[in-house]
Structure 1
Amino acid sequence: MIVKSPYLKCGGSNSVSGYLRYIGTRERVELLPGNRPPTRKQEQLITKLVKDFPNSQELDEYSDYATKHTKANASTFITRALEENWAAVQQSEGYMKYIATRPRAERLGDHGLFGDEDGVDLATTMDELDRYTGNVWTHILSLKREDAARLGYDNAKAWMNLLRANRNDIAAAMNIPPNHFRWYAAYHDEGKHPHVHMMAWSTVPDEAYLTREGIRKIKSTLANQIFRQEMLHTYEQKSYSRDELVWEARRAIHRLIQEMARSIYTYPEAEELMQTLSAQLETVKGKKSYGYLPKPVKKTVNEVVDRLEELPVVRECYNQWCALQSEVDSYYHDKTREKKKLSQEKEFRQIKNAVIQEAERIRLGEITFEDADLTGHDEPEQGWGESYACWELRQIIRDESLSLADRDDAVEELERLAERGDAYAQYLMGQLYRDGHLLIPDSQKAKDWFTQASGHGLPEAQYALGKILLSNDPEVREPDEGIRWLKEAAAQGNSWAAYRLGKEYLGGEVVSKDATRATAWLTQSAEAGNQYAQYMLGKLYLTGQGVTHDQTQAMVWFGRSAAQGNQYAQLFLERQNEIRPPSVMLAATRLLYHMSRIFENHSLPQSGAGLHIDRKRRQQLREKRIALGHKPNDHEEEQSQGMTMKGW
């Protein structure tokens, strides 16, 4: 769809009523069959038009004429060139004489004008414009012939209904209150480019103004309506041939996002740039955001993004995104979307700030925990001392092949068992209310059941209670109590509780930062076989944080963790002879994770209709699910496998 929005000045000797009469009464261009050549008069007029108005050579109609010299193409170009340059044309006696003497085709009534109401009085409207002193915009809305025919916009009625339905949106784009908005339009069934001329103005002179953004909004609003059905096909991934590209691209992007999120990369070039950037940030005062950085620092940020784009998974994902975006953009623009370098694509400006944040982490020496995939693995399915009755009910509840009614009955029976004092049944009830698989999520009830089970000395319940009390859910958050229950669980040998305590003392958010205590808790967990604690101890010994620097001891702990499948520990084993800090060696991997989230947020919506939740609200809901114990990717289209960096 093409939208052009020039304007004409009124007042004094300038009158636009002639333009109104012209668009309302001009002939329908004859669709001439065959390849009859243009007349000599047409050729002479085209030569003059191109000389007087060089920009007219940019019109699609001129391209059609230049490609194929026919009488029909000549007539179409002449008409559009005159319309595009009306302000100058009406001052030329020669051009006006040509317009006045053109033959006219049959019309319904005296003219083809329409507006908010039926029965437009041409004389009255022309008189109104003759007395008007403000600017009048002359929008030209054009479709390709094949699109107009396919979508049903090859007649005046369809355009009239469209413009009437969206007149308030057009008024808003022109900064005109709806009650001040005046407009009239006429449909011209032009050769290859049927179009509508729409004159629009405000009843209050000098009130209206139209920016490029306003023109974009008008175009977007109308294109969304015109192409709505085809856009729905794209978003809903129908099996039509033109939508197959969209479907394949979306699947590819999703696959690549998952791969990006769980990939562990060694990329020395990017690591060196990140070290350079972290050093540059030492000299930056104030807000460390891309827009506020000096040019040399911005240059380094861009270089990091350019290096990351060279990674196959990033390059392929970005290529797929560009293809998908081009498919959608084709509904709005005739020009092919220009593919830019990733660092120059405005849609992905967040990547630059992610790079800055990671460089700042390196500069500050912040500790990171590569453990997001442990969610759901830190609570065993079965504990010591579970009664047979509880075990039997748990099997029914977890069996998704059974009917929902049978599983609901098992939950009710489990609750009765919990009320009779069965500690493990109480623990399971807490999980069910926290996770919401068969019960409506209720963090308060989850806390109550975990508390009862913890009172019986069940370490699994004490750990779960500690987690929920440390969550960001305001209904149940009690940090001091959370730490107390974690210590109770750790004292009974729960390695996950000891690991979480180590993290809390390293982070210093709910307890005072204490590297010595953190190391003690991590050591307790690591000696109990916890691979995440073993990995973290390896990092602490490697950096000398909380313990004496000891690379040999670091490699011992990395080895024990890697033996259990920890890929990050394996990375440090393979690069043990390098002298870069751990945060630098993990920089590319961490940035890939951040990029995967950004690509996910910028992929197209799955549906063009229905409930829409904006990105920030979706993130808030996701964080609450995680706080309640859900896996980060619950209810997503696909589950990722292996170790990821979600939750960093």
Structure 2
Amino acid sequence: MARLIVKSPYIKCGGGNSAGGYMRYIATRERVELIQNDRPPTRKQEQLIAKLVKDFPDAKEMGEYGDYQEHPTKANASAFISQALEENWSDVQKSDGYMKYIATRPRAERLGSHGLFGDKDGVELDKAMAELESYTGNVWTHIISLKREDAERLGYDNARAWRNLLRAHRNDIAAAMNIPPQDFRWYAAFHDEGDHPHVHMMAWSVKPGQAYLSQDGIRQIKSKLTNDIFQQEMLHLYEQKTVSRDQLVREVRQAMRELVQQMRTRICDHPEAERLMQELALQLETVKGKKSYGYLPKKQKALVDEIVDQMEQLPTVAECYEQWWQLQGQVEDFYSEKERHRPPLSRQKEFRQIKNAVIQEAETIRLGKITFEDETLDLRQGDEVDNGKDVSWDFRTLRMDVQDEYSSLAERDDAVESMRELAENGDIHAQYFMGELYRDGPLLPPDWVMARYWFDKAAKQGYVAAQYALGKLYLSDDASVHDPELGIQWLEYAAYNGNHDASYRLGKEYLKGESVRRDTRKAMDHIYTSAQAGNLHAQYLLGKLLLQGKAVERDKEAGIQWLSQAAEQGHSYAQCLLERQSASTAPEVFLAVTRLLHHMANIFQDNSLPQSGTGLTHIDRKRRQELREKRLVHGHKEDDHEEQQYGSWNMTMH
């Protein structure tokens, strides 16, 4: 892959130290005669290379060193030695051994009597060197290189091309170094050697102490030069790869969606992760202050990392992470000098949220919180209105037209407008259906105020499903409809009229104590009523609470009976708790690790779009999270998954 490589060391001038020698070296070094590339390195070269990599370990990251390692020839040894010396000039000039080597090196492609160039033609070497003799600030010695095949193909195998490029971008480089254009000084020389022809650019400010070059500044320089050098080639590459790339991205994202869905619905059986999670919960007892990853002591951070790495061993997690990694690299990256290696999940910055999810679940264990696992089960039952004996023919027909995906959008929109007229004329089923359309879309833009309007109309006519839906809507987090008091009131109405999903939701609300004052007695009454009516979620929750002795006195026999009833209806968590009666870890630990897997699924989904700069639409992660949360909480919360039932319509309004 074609790449531009930019290095930016600097020489600290003053106190008897000058950059003039470096300037003379780069200016007068003649073009090196290319050595036949199959001759072995000399013993002197091998000794010098060993010393260089010992004295300057970063030299091992250079492309020339990689070439030498792959093909240890005299030519590659020469190229590496030259580049390593030049990149470490400030330290090299203090060593007699290195300076002796430099003094005997062949010397640069010349533009006249020397190879130095700058803003103007006709650079005088002695005058340029004199500018640095008494200079006391830092002088940056940028080294910018290409592979030979790229330099020859793109026309950057000569000094004039590099001179024109640097002149065109001198103000960009000055800006990256925080130097005003009028204070910026620079000279450069081109060295045509080996497999990596390169240019040396010395840059400084006339005002010592003014210049400052950060890693971001180096990236800016590289970006500007890369865009210019590779502009036409990049455009051609994008044109060639756009179709295949987009297809590949679609395939990878589809694979991620399938894996995320598997993670969300899977029970996690991972004994080692459970053991570590229990250990973390115990250690958090001794941790004071904020319980988040950034504030934890090193010991606990290491334990969190170990849990994340254990979770990565799960096949679905490992495959999903691999798919995400592929997604990030679909477009050729001209800006990266290093080969991309996928780090462990615990070290991947894009997934730092997972670490806090680990801590959150460990805290849940430590504090003995009551949890609800319904969000991962897809156990909705049946259609809400098909069996209603009072459903009008007009409503049935219009609903079929609205939901007919084979009809055009215009035809379906017309059906929605007819449904609206039916609702305005008092049809409670049409009113409830309009509420659903505004709540869920997609034919109507989501509008929870309008959803509340239509649910309210049907609810006040005694339609129990609307009462339940309205209660959930008021309990959502959206400011336009949020009203916990009314939410609880409408759930109470729905429960009174026989909606046992409403009873279950009320039980959870009274247990959590967030939307209403915590009341364990009321909570258990509602949960028990719902469980007796056959609600499998209530049966599971009741069985789990009895088994754990939370909120109620522990009764293992009764707990197993309720869990068995839920398991018979297909509740997978209930089945797992029954199977794990002899497990060494407590049920809450197993559930915490399973919830962690589901947290990870959501985090993977939020990160499933490529990073900005890939040419694909990028949605800010925070915005995606907000949209996802709205879909979950506005009257259609996934952690309910209760069947919406119908009971008596004769309710006394207060």
- Tell me which of 628, 637, 642 is aligned to 1:622: 628
SS at the partner of 1:441? Answer: coil
Residue 622 of structure 1 contacts residue 632 of structure 1 at CA under 8 Å; is this kept in 2? no
Q: How does 1:23-102 map to 2 (within 5 A)?
A: 23=26, 29=32, 35=37, 46=45, 50=49, 58=60, 59-61=62-64, 64=67, 73=76, 76-77=79-80, 79-81=82-84, 83-87=86-90, 98=104, 102=107
Residue 14 of structure 2 contacts residue 137 of structure 2 at CA under 8 Å; is this kept in 1? yes
Q: Distance in 2 between matches of 1:445 and 1:223?
A: 53
Who is 2:442 aligned against?
A: 437
Q: CA 1:585–1:546 in structure 2 vs 1: closer, same or farther (change >3 Å)?
A: same
Q: Distance in 2 between matches of 1:225 and 1:397?
A: 54
Residue 463 of structure 1 contacts residue 485 of structure 1 at CA under 8 Å; is this kept in 2? yes
Who is 1:197 aligned against?
A: 200
Who is 1:269 aligned against?
A: 272
Who is 1:256 aligned against?
A: 259
Residue 186 of structure 1 contacts residue 196 of structure 1 at CA under 8 Å; is this kept in 2? yes
User: Aligned-pair distance for 1:504?
Assistant: 0.7
Deviation readout 1:270-304 (Å, 9 max, x if unpaired): 32332232222222221222343344444543443
1:367 aligned onto 2:373? no
1:552 aligned onto 2:557? yes
User: Aligned-pair distance for 1:362?
Assistant: 0.8
Who is 2:307 aligned against?
A: 304
1:140 aligned onto 2:143? yes
- Tell me which of 510, 518, 521 is aligned to 1:513: 518
State which drifts further: 571-580 or 448-457.
Answer: 571-580
Deviation readout 1:353-391 (Å, 9 max, x if unpaired): 222211110111111111125689489442523221122
Residue 13 of structure 2 contacts residue 19 of structure 2 at CA under 8 Å; is this kept in 1? yes
Q: CA 1:150–1:381 in structure 2 vs 1: closer, same or farther (change >3 Å)?
A: farther
Who is 1:636 aligned against?
A: none
Give the aligned CA root-mean-square deviation in angstroms.
4.4
User: Aligned-pair distance for 1:212?
Assistant: 5.6
Task: Tell me the amino acid that sits aligned with residue 527 of structure 1.
Answer: Q
Q: Distance in 2 between matches of 1:209 and 1:340?
A: 31
SS at the partner of 1:201? Answer: strand
Who is 2:421 aligned against?
A: 416
Q: CA 1:457–1:520 in structure 2 vs 1: closer, same or farther (change >3 Å)?
A: same
Deviation readout 1:523-552 (Å, 9 max, x if unpaired): 222233322222112112222334332222
SS at the partner of 1:569? Answer: helix
User: Aligned-pair distance for 1:408?
Assistant: 0.8
Deviation readout 1:565-606 (Å, 9 max, x if unpaired): 211111112123447543222122112122233344455617
User: Aligned-pair distance for 1:438?
Assistant: 1.2
Identity of aligned residues (%): 55
State which drifts further: 570-579 or 290-299.
Answer: 290-299
Deviation readout 1:108-133 (Å, 9 max, x if unpaired): 99857456xx7685667655545643
User: Aligned-pair distance for 1:490?
Assistant: 1.6
Q: CA 1:89–1:510 in structure 2 vs 1: closer, same or farther (change >3 Å)?
A: closer
Q: How does 1:359-398 map to 2 (within 5 A)?
A: 359-373=362-376, 377=380, 380-382=383-385, 384=388, 385-398=390-403
State which drifts further: 445-454 or 247-256.
Answer: 247-256
Who is 1:281 aligned against?
A: 284
Q: Distance in 1 between matches of 2:31 and 2:163?
A: 17
Q: TM-score, normalised by structure 2?
A: 0.80
Q: Distance in 1 between matches of 2:240 and 2:527?
A: 48
Q: Distance in 1 between matches of 2:170 and 2:375?
A: 50
- Structure 1 residue runs of 5 or longer lacking an equivalent are 634-640, 642-648
User: Aligned-pair distance for 1:513?
Assistant: 0.9
State which drifts further: 83-92 or 557-566.
Answer: 83-92
Who is 1:565 aligned against?
A: 570
1:9 aligned onto 2:15? no
Q: Distance in 1 between matches of 2:616 and 2:161?
A: 25
Residue 474 of structure 2 contacts residue 486 of structure 2 at CA under 8 Å; is this kept in 1? yes
Q: TM-score, normalised by structure 1?
A: 0.80
Q: Distance in 2 between matches of 1:62 and 1:542?
A: 64
State which drifts further: 226-235 or 623-632.
Answer: 226-235
1:486 aligned onto 2:496? no
State which drifts further: 462-471 or 104-113.
Answer: 104-113
State which drifts further: 150-159 or 127-136.
Answer: 150-159
State which drifts further: 390-399 or 49-58.
Answer: 49-58
Q: CA 1:310–1:43 in structure 2 vs 1: closer, same or farther (change >3 Å)?
A: closer
Residue 235 of structure 1 contacts residue 604 of structure 1 at CA under 8 Å; is this kept in 2? no
SS at the partner of 2:515? Answer: coil
Deviation readout 1:332-353 (Å, 9 max, x if unpaired): 5555556655445555443332
Task: Tell me the amino acid that sits aligned with residue 80 of structure 1.
Answer: Q
User: Aligned-pair distance for 1:180?
Assistant: 5.3
Who is 1:638 aligned against?
A: none
Q: Distance in 1 between matches of 2:239 and 2:307?
A: 34
Q: Distance in 1 between matches of 2:637 and 2:164?
A: 49
SS at the partner of 1:586? Answer: helix
Q: CA 1:237–1:491 in structure 2 vs 1: closer, same or farther (change >3 Å)?
A: farther
User: Aligned-pair distance for 1:564?
Assistant: 2.3
Q: Distance in 2 between matches of 1:477 and 1:483?
A: 11
1:498 aligned onto 2:503? yes
SS at the partner of 1:428? Answer: helix
Q: Distance in 2 between matches of 1:354 and 1:9?
A: 47
Who is 1:449 aligned against?
A: 454
